[in-house]
Chains A and B, each alone.
Chain A
Amino acid sequence: MKALVSVAEVAELGDDFEIDGLTIDERYLGYSLNEWDDYAIEEAVTLSEADVVDEVVVVTIGPERSEQTIREALAKGADRAIRIWDDAVANVDALMPEMKTRILASVVEAEEPDIVFTGVQSDDDAWGATGVALAEEIDFGWAAVVTELDLEPDDGVAHVRRELEGGLEEVTAVELPAVITIQTGINQPRYASLRGIRQAQQKELAVKSLDDLGLNESVLDSELALTELYEPETESETTIWDGEPDETAAELASFLRETEVIES
């Protein structure tokens, strides 16, 4: 079996930031591997170590900066990587799920994986849509928000548990090939070893443009437009206790006594 893992580098806002129109300047952002995707990589690499999967290919849509993230996936055990980027993609204001779906569909067509993993959502734009949309596009089965996966390749079935709300899980069987969107907590993602990091430098990381994938810029068409970006107004009337730790702790302690949750 061949596994394709779609990963994203995500931006995290620092404590201080400024919004400039519809964007945030890069200097206020920190970049890292999307948390959900870390679990998706672990799931694929674990299957590879168990010889259920023969090859793990990671794919990302991202600028050169994101190679750090994708090298991390290689260091954790993925076999090779594809990074998709060109000027047309760079010029898009906001990469909508439908664009990612069309681009990733062409990668699936070229790579012909038996199973595709992706995180449930990305931490920054939180669409939570690409995996299931991709499955529909490429005519794969799918399962979203998966917290347990048991593959039976001989039967062509993936048995999954999907996390619902309120501590309930749905038990589902889905035919392969399939796209599985991975929820955090499904496994314990490893740290890359020094040996893994060294090996990752030797692994193939192919950079591809839309043209290389046989796509044209129409895959970036969207009827959606980002029109506003702002800090939400808070209606809260939070009382902030200021001061040194012993002072704020004293305030909190007397609050707890006043509310009688602790004895005075």
Chain B
Amino acid sequence: MSDTLVVAEHRRGELEDISYELITAGRELADAMDGDLHVAVINGDVDSHAEQLDRDGVDTIHTVDYGKGFNHDVYTQAVTELADSLSPRTVLIPHTATGMDYAPAVANALDNPLVTDAIDLQYDEELTVAREMYSSKLESVIATDSTQAVVTVRPAEWPPTESDGSAAIDAFEAEIDEAAITSTVTGFEETVGGDIDISEADFIVSVGRGIEDEENLELIERLCDVTGATLAASRPICDNEWLSKGRQVGQSGKDVTPDVYVAIGISGAVQHVSGMKNSERIVAINNDSTAPIFDIADYGIVGDLFEVVPALIEEVE
């Protein structure tokens, strides 16, 4: 019970970056436990996926060929069987919409404890997992003394493993219970299209929950008018349908990399930050000095946006 099992993620024929990040995280854990690193790749073109997943530090790649793409019932059964067969100390699954759709079921089926959204993993006689709470304002450490645990891992927290490996490849014959497959993935749809492509903008003014009311958006639109900035938003604004989904920055929206990103009334939840952290320069205006957005901003104004923004408009005009 000292091995680590990592489950790769792929979508529409392509392996996702998180798969290679999990190899890095998994290798670190396997080293700390003096065990092997196993990678599971389920469905799709498993042979080509296995070839790509053969990266430095991987001992064995287990392929399960039971369909074209993701199906949470198949994944749950396959990962559960693999964990039963390999008895890893830890099972690492991506903390993505896909991972969230089967990791809790795997943990429950294995009667394992589950820790989600890990940002750090340590092993010293017991496994400890660091994770964020309270909208990224605090971190906590969860320790587990179980013989086996399932952990979901936040994307982009570990660097991907790039160099080639020499893993053994094993076709795992999972005994999938067809009767227990109660879901069918029938397709994919793009949600962010629309009138504007914010991902190409050089200068973005982005607005969040701090704007409070739809009618207050006028203020930010005026700022964009006088400065020539492209208007973007964080999730709550688009959830409320105050702005179109095409303007949403973050995990479920667009990634942006402008020269300047001005975040107004945005607290800086991880889902938002993942979409704008690669901006050249980040400015935050927020009345809460403890808002996580200030952790990644280059410049900040701690103040009332309803005072600062009108003053800025006046200044620019």
Please give the residue numbers on chain A whose beta carbons come within 8 Å of chain B beta carbons, in ascending order: 11-13, 15-16, 19, 96-98, 101, 120, 123-133, 135-137, 141-145, 147, 161-175, 178, 184-185, 188, 222-232, 234-241, 245-246, 248-253, 255-256, 259, 261-262
Given known contacts A15-B288, A172-B186, is B300 in contact with A126 (CB within 8 Å)? no
Inter-chain CA distance A255–B260, complex, in Å, is 10
Contact A261 B144 (CB under 8 A): no
Inter-chain CA distance A241–B300, complex, in Å, is 6
Residue B109 CB within 8 A of the other chain: yes
Residues B177-228 near A (CB distance < 8 A): 182-192, 202-203, 227-228
Given known contacts A15-B290, A128-B100, A141-B182, is B108 in contact with A98 (CB within 8 Å)? yes
Inter-chain CA distance A127–B134, complex, in Å, is 11
Inter-chain CA distance A222–B144, complex, in Å, is 9
Residues B40-87 near A (CB distance < 8 A): 70, 72, 76
Residues B285-317 near A (CB distance < 8 A): 285, 288-290, 294-304, 307-312, 314-316
Given known contacts A13-B138, A248-B301, is B182 in contact with A227 (CB within 8 Å)? no
* Chain B residues positioned under 8 Å from A165 (CB to CB): 96-97, 251-252
How many of chain B's residues have a CB under 8 angstroms from any CB in A? Answer: 98
Contact B139 A144 (CB under 8 A): no
Given A225-B144, A252-B312, 8 further pairs, Cβ under 8 A: A145-B97, A174-B184, A223-B145, A225-B145, A226-B140, A236-B297, A241-B300, A262-B203
Residue B1 CB within 8 A of the other chain: no
In terms of DSSP, what is the predominant structure of the interface of chain B?
A: mixed
Contact B239 A133 (CB under 8 A): no
Given known contacts A167-B245, A169-B189, is B100 in contact with A144 (CB within 8 Å)? yes
* Chain B residues positioned under 8 Å from A16 (CB to CB): 290
Contact B11 A164 (CB under 8 A): yes
Contact B142 A172 (CB under 8 A): no
Residue among B109, B134, B235, B315 with max Cβ neighbours from chain A (10 Å): B134
Cβ contacts B112-153/A at 8 Å (1 or 0 each): 011111000000000010011111111111111110010000
Contact B113 A172 (CB under 8 A): no
Given known contacts A132-B100, A136-B104, is B245 in contact with A249 (CB within 8 Å)? no
Shortest CB distance A222–B (Å) = 6
Given known contacts A173-B184, A185-B239, A262-B228, is B97 in contact with A133 (CB within 8 Å)? no
Minimum CB distance partner of B294 in chain A: A238
* Chain B residues positioned under 8 Å from A124 (CB to CB): 133-134
Contact A252 B188 (CB under 8 A): no
* Chain A residues positioned under 8 Å from B100 (CB to CB): 120, 128-129, 132, 144-145
Given known contacts A96-B113, A125-B133, A136-B108, is B183 in contact with A238 (CB within 8 Å)? no
Contact B295 A236 (CB under 8 A): yes
Contact A245 B308 (CB under 8 A): yes
Contact A241 B117 (CB under 8 A): no
* Chain A residues positioned under 8 Å from B252 (CB to CB): 163-167
* Chain A residues positioned under 8 Å from B262 (CB to CB): 252
Contact A185 B238 (CB under 8 A): yes
Residue B33 CB within 8 A of the other chain: no
Please give the residue numbers on chain B whose beta carbons come within 8 Å of chain A beta carbons, in ascending order: 11, 70, 72, 76, 95-98, 100-105, 107-109, 113-117, 128, 131-146, 149, 182-192, 202-203, 227-229, 235-236, 238-241, 245, 251-255, 259-260, 262, 281, 283-285, 288-290, 294-304, 307-312, 314-316
Shortest CB distance B113–A (Å) = 5
Inter-chain CA distance A168–B289, complex, in Å, is 34
Minimum CB distance partner of B311 in chain A: A249
Contact A250 B315 (CB under 8 A): yes
Contact B296 A168 (CB under 8 A): no
* Chain B residues positioned under 8 Å from A19 (CB to CB): 138
Shortest CB distance A37–B (Å) = 14
* Chain A residues positioned under 8 Å from B133 (CB to CB): 124-126, 229
Contact B134 A11 (CB under 8 A): yes
Shortest CB distance B235–A (Å) = 7
* Chain A residues positioned under 8 Å from B316 (CB to CB): 253, 256, 262
Contact A252 B283 (CB under 8 A): yes
Contact A246 B311 (CB under 8 A): yes
Contact A133 B105 (CB under 8 A): yes
Inter-chain CA distance A224–B186, complex, in Å, is 37
Shortest CB distance B1–A (Å) = 14
* Chain A residues positioned under 8 Å from B284 (CB to CB): 238
Contact B308 A248 (CB under 8 A): yes
Minimum CB distance partner of B119 in chain A: A232
Contact A255 B115 (CB under 8 A): no
Given known contacts A184-B236, A229-B140, is B188 in contact with A168 (CB within 8 Å)? yes
